[in-house]
Amino acid sequence: MKVGDLVQWYTEYADTVTVDYGLVVELDENKQQPGDAQGAYIHWFSNDGSGWFDTGHPSIGVISESR
């Protein structure tokens, strides 16, 4: 995951499916300890919960990579 990537959030819970799309606008590469997760600031198009997320979050996937 890198700045400019288009990402998708997808979760299923009971009878509810949540899908949102966003752009990675910043990466936090200042890991405090070896093995710490890298963070990405994602601006969600729905404007619901934009913020810092673990780049390995299981509900987030890159759907289009920036060049």
CA distance 45 to 42: 9
CA distance 62 to 36: 20
In this predicted structure, what is the pLDDT of residue 61? Answer: 93
In this predicted structure, what is the pLDDT of residue 34? Answer: 59
In this predicted structure, what is the pLDDT of residue 44? Answer: 93
Tokens of 62: 């890159």
Tokens of 59: 């509900």
CA distance 44 to 58: 16
CA distance 31 to 44: 24
Mean pLDDT score of the chain: 87
pLDDT in tens, 10-42: 999 889 998 999 999 998 876 555 566 688 999
